[in-house]
Structure 1
């Protein structure tokens, strides 16, 4: 794969090189058949003719040989002009540089671990990328467009042009080492196909898919999506909630997206059995417990102190990086 990508870097120069090789073969065969030259003599005669170096002929040419030489020179002039034009466009139009940067980026992507793949870079894809960027989570954008917009307001370090519905594109985006895949394609059928493919390539990855129709939610979850989001529904509910509880919604939005070393919301997987009263995270670490998720994916919001935690349950806590690390040690 690595060698093929390197060869693809010079793919634009392959045609003129093949034409040059074909011209040399034609010239060599022509001198052998017309003048009766040996292979070495015919090859030497072809090279000095094409190169226009002005050396003496191997032997005086017949009329047919001279006509053939004129024909060879004229073809060579056309080929030389074409080759120079192509070479100039290849390097001066930055085509070579673009391909080189793309191959270098693809190699860097293969070294990533625990990153997120964003399939599709429309409105939802951009918003996801913005949040991941703000929280310093590495991500790869997989999009069919040749280039991304230049006025995004944040840096997209890893970008790949490709069709997310194809196995090869997901593999090149590092699906094997990815922690999650966010699928934001506009067509539900395409999202379903990507969910199936991603789940097959990396069963452990968290897969989050966009859906446009209510009927697609169940199908996407059966296919392997961990969560299915309907942007229109969420947007409408968010707007209505802003009317009722504007400050609360603003605070929750900040808590979920504006993480930093001083404040963030995190999940801690419990490794032992203990009650919240015995654990007393607030007293021991200053962490606040927001809720608990059990093995059946049921949530208990603001659990009482008598709540008993079992191994495998997830505790959603709020605090600084240091406080959360101390809480992890306790549970």
Structure 2
């Protein structure tokens, strides 16, 4: 993302041209008593060395001013044009406007996820968020890392900056976000981000990475809703593959990680028509979920595994619905709150 110095460097050649133009216009209006149009005309034909006919014969002072204008503008105007050409040829100017467009897109985001850090864990999180069509914006200090990621993946919304700074989080729309994932390798940075994020948005769901066990309680006290230790999860997952290979293969199949796998969606009863409140689960299955299986229901206090079809639905319930990806149809659009 362009900082103030970079924006100034892009605007500098245009400022040079504007300054020369105003100097010429002001000089001709003062010395020769030209009106604005005539002064503008004389300035343009002078600094561009076109050499069209003068508006009227110049006085000695006017000629002297023209000589000074030509000498001063020749090098500065050429320098400005060279800079503009360089910016266009190198793509910096196009990149500048692309970045401005990205900032506008970020400002329009609502109910999105802020991903802090685009390292190995951050990149995996970005891939999963994109696969599930969850809008997100990345905050990363290393611009080269962002470019490397974008060279292998689709374009993404990002901010180059320090996620520990409140200003950067605000630019990412933390007041409108639904969740924040911080995947920085340093626990101290993650704690600081969690503290800042929680102070800026009390309702935000915050999920943080932790490298050391000693950081778990600190992150929770700082305001993290969930704390994930990648090394612990990775080691446990490898051990589970060895000890329970079939179970792990099935879980990967359920969660959609397998290439031909199924997918588990979550449906909130509160998002459905009020007609389903208080009716048996069987009715909802017959109406919309005949091509899948309700494998569990989450209540306010517990999980009900393989719930009975006679169970009466409540608006606070969440249904875990299993179905094949290739049989998703219009009726399954109800199942969209993952």
Give TM class, smaller chain: 0.7 to 0.9
Aligned to 1:302: 305
1:95-117 deviations in Å (ceiling 9; x for gaps) = 11111112112222333333322
Q: How does 1:223-302 map to 2 (within 5 A)?
A: 223-258=222-257, 263-269=262-268, 279=281, 285=289, 287-290=293-296, 292=298, 294-295=300-301, 300=303, 302=305
1:59 Cα shift? 2.3
| 1:91-142 Cα shifts (integer Å, max 9, x gaps) | 2211111111121122223333333221111111111111222222232222
- Contact residue 131 and residue 257 of structure 1 kept, 8 A: no
- Which one of 91, 108, 123 corresponds to residue 126 of structure 1? 123
TM-score (norm 2): 0.71
Per-residue CA deviations over 1:139-194 (Å, capped at 9, x if unaligned) read: 22222233432576542442333322233333333333323221111222221222
Cα 1:225–1:313 change in 2 (3 A) is: farther
CA distance in 1, matches of 2:160, 2:227: 25
Distance 1:301 1:228, change over 3 A: farther
What is the match of residue 86 of structure 1? 83
Is 1:142 aligned to 2:145, yes or no?
Answer: no
Superposed counterparts of 1:1-331, under 5 Å:
11-20=8-17, 37=31, 47=43, 50-52=47-49, 54=51, 55=54, 58-60=58-60, 72-146=69-143, 147-149=146-148, 153-258=152-257, 263-269=262-268, 279=281, 285=289, 287-290=293-296, 292=298, 294-295=300-301, 300=303, 302=305, 312=316, 314-319=318-323
What is the root-mean-square deviation in Å for CA atoms of aligned residues? 4.5
Aligned CA distance change for structure 1 residues 266 and 169 (closer, same or farther; 3 Å): same
**Distance between the aligned counterparts of 2:90 and 2:151, measured in 1?**
25
**8 Å contact from structure 1 (residues 269, 314) kept in 2:** yes
For each residue in 1:51-81, what CA deviation from the matched residue of structure 2 results, as whole angstroms up to 9, or x when unmatched?
545547632359xx95x87665433222122
Taking a change above 3 Å as real, the CA distance of residues 319 and 166 of structure 1, as seen in their structure-2 partners, is: same
C-alpha change, 1:108 and 1:283, in structure 2 (3 Å) is closer
* Structure 2 unaligned blocks of 5 or more: 271-275
Q: 1:53 to 1:304 in 2, by over 3 A?
A: closer
CA contact (8 A) 2:252 2:258 kept: no
State the alpha-carbon separation in 1 of the partners of residues 46 and 333 from structure 2.
76
State whether residues 208 and 229 of structure 1, in contact with CA within 8 Å, keep that contact through their aligned partners in structure 2: yes
Greater Cα offset, 309-318 or 161-170: 309-318
For structure 1, the residue ranges without an aligned partner over 5 or more in a row are none
User: Aligned residues, how many?
Assistant: 312
Distance 1:52 1:283 in 2: 80
**How far apart in 2 are the matches of 1:166 and 1:134?**
29
CA distance in 1, matches of 2:333, 2:86: 55
Match of 1:149, SS state, is helix
Q: Which moved more, 1:285-294 or 1:235-244?
A: 285-294
